[in-house]
Amino acid sequence: MTKSEHNPRFILTTVTPKRFVVLHAFMKKYDDAIKEKDKQPARTRLNELNQRKSDEEA
C-alpha cells in the first residue's frame, strides 16, 4: 500500500520459531526512514519482554 494514507507499520519479534509478538504498531505518515520516536516504544517493550523471560527462568 505504498503512498496510501493507510499504511500501518508493525515492529515484531520472535518468541519461538512459529510465534511472534507485536511490539509496536503505528501509522507511517512520512517518506523517510522510520523515526526514532516510532522505534522507542518497541525497544521498551522488547526490554520488558526479555526481563519477564529472565524472571521466569530464575
| pLDDT tens digit sequence for 1-41 | 566 667 788 999 998 899 999 999 998 777 788 889 989 99
For 3: left if phi > 0, alpha if psi spans -120 to 50, otherwise beta; the answer is: left
Residue 48 lies in a domain: yes
pLDDT of residue 58: 72
Residue 1 lies in a domain: no
pLDDT of residue 4: 67
Q: What are phi and psi of 45, to 5 degrees?
A: -65, -35
Domain count, the chain: 1
Whether 47 has a pLDDT exceeding 90, the answer reads yes
pLDDT of residue 1: 54
pTM score of the predicted model: 0.74
CA–CA gap between residue 46 and residue 42 (Å, rounded): 6
Residue 45 lies in a domain: yes
- Here the cell at position 10 is 508493525
22: domain range? 8-57
Q: What are phi and psi of 33, to 5 degrees?
A: -65, 165
